[in-house]
Amino acid sequence: MTTLSRRGLLAAGGAVVVAAATSACSVKEPSSSSGQKAITFLTFETPNLTPAYWDAAIKRVTGKNPDIKVQKLVSPTADGRTDYAKQLLTSGQFPDVMIAVSPAGFAEAGALYAWSPAELKDFVYPTANPIKGKYYQLPANTQTIPPVYYNKPMFAEAGITTTPTTWAQLLTAAAALKAKGRTPFVVGGGKDAFASAMILDGIVSVDIYGTTPDWMTRRRAGTVKFSDADFTAALAKFADLAAKGYLKASDVSRDYAATEQAFLDGKGAMYPMGNWFAANADGKSHSFEIGVFNLPSADGRTVVPAYTGGGMIVSAKAANLDTAKRFALAFQVDKTQLDASVKADGLIPAIKGYTPPSTVGPVYRAGYDLYQQAVTKNEVVHAFRWETADDGLLPGMTDKVDAAAQDLITGRKNPAQAGAYLDAEWAKAGG
């Protein structure tokens, strides 16, 4: 994944970045006497993206560019990589290259290199995720967030013969599954709190962005709020799933890896998760056939939330800046690396002319085809919570969305309280 605990690292958000940017410097090994130029590269690890995956990816680039020497850094947690980058910045150890780290806050503080149009020529969406008119993160891949993966035998057992296309049909399916003693939805949380919010992310994307695509831009302008009726209705829709027992409050303590494994072990019928799950759906052992469908809208209209970005960002103050840029671009457009990212993390590379290998698994192929159909029909919207630019959440707010989702699942907050909480946190974040 780009599965992204943040807890305990930094709570100050973008303000910390602004305060530190002017004095931070990169930490790196000195260039070697052989003429190599050294850079530091911040990665993260997940069940999909193992140390071996990153080591092989780095070696592919350095094998073709022997003058580049890479020191790999690893975030202590997968979900906390952006906060870890902030921590490194404040301590004067900002990496030269980072992957899947949100540029928000860093870019505004002048800590990041802005890519030129010529450098972005190989990307399908070169103008994705602008920050004040500039582009700081390579728009390397697309992720749909969240499709709904489901256990086909459990659906059949419950008498569900077609996948839901409306919210009412989804609720009917959940009721039928619960009647058979099955947990309808697998959710998680723990140190990877985003796993609690996946369904909520999808509801907001489909219900709100589906009718008001620029809702987040309006939120930044202060013309809409989280406590408004439409957003509160989305919160209520999510809370209703927990109230009906279609997901378990006790599961919010389960981390991402355990959540994925719970679905693969047959502990629930539906698993709303980013399309990165397709890699393990096709590659990990399980005893049932997995299908996938789009999270339904109220009226059956197809709305597919997606995020394009997630690629490399480069420190503007890297001592070997040209080398850092060359490494980042070479990493992102290498065909072998793109194929590896498809296999390991279920990504949809947003590189011109790229097509996935014919050997991809059936779950990946099904999700890929759903996305391509949505692109053709202009049915794609931003994925709420996952945006990283001027039309995204303010720095630090993703944690607050995750916390609100957990509070709705456990009943600690009702929808109105959750909306008010998000508005209050937004104000604290500078909105």
Give the model confidence (pLDDT) of 260-307 as tens digits. Answer: 999 999 999 999 999 999 999 999 999 999 999 999 999 999 999 999
Query: The tokens of 298 are what?
Result: 């109220």
* 220-225, Cβ contacts within 8 angstroms, sequence gap of 24 or more: 220/390, 220/391, 220/394, 220/431, 222/431, 225/419, 225/423
Query: The tokens of 121 are what?
Result: 């020529």
Q: Is 38 helix (H, G, I), strand (E, B) or coil?
A: strand
CATH architecture of 14-143+308-360: 3-Layer(aba) Sandwich (3.40)
The overall average pLDDT reported for the chain is 91
List the 68-74 sheet strands across, edge first.
68-74, 37-43, 97-99, 312-314
Say if residues 31 and 38 touch (Cβ distance below 8 Å). yes
Evaluate if residue 248 carries a pLDDT over 90: yes
Say if residues 401 and 200 touch (Cβ distance below 8 Å). yes
Task: Write down the pTM of the prediction.
Answer: 0.85
**DSSP symbols for 223-237:** SS-TTSHHHHHHHHH
Residue 79 has a pLDDT of: 76
Ranges for all domains in the chain classified under CATH 3.40.190.10: 14-143+308-360, 144-306+385-428
Topology of domain 144-306+385-428 in CATH is D-Maltodextrin-Binding Protein; domain 2 (3.40.190)
Query: Measured between alpha carbons, how far is residue 105 from residues 80, 112, 314, 429 in Å?
Result: 15, 10, 14, 11
pLDDT band at 23 (very low <50, low <70, confident <90, very high): very low
Non-local CB neighbours of 22 within 8 Å, separated by 6+ positions: 110
Give tens-digit pLDDT for 99-116: 999 898 899 999 999 999
Residue 34 has a pLDDT of: 63
Average pLDDT over residues 302-320: 96
Query: The tokens of 246 are what?
Result: 């279609």
Q: CA dihedral defined by 232, 237, 242, 248, rounded to 10 degrees?
A: -100
pLDDT band at 27 (very low <50, low <70, confident <90, very high): very low
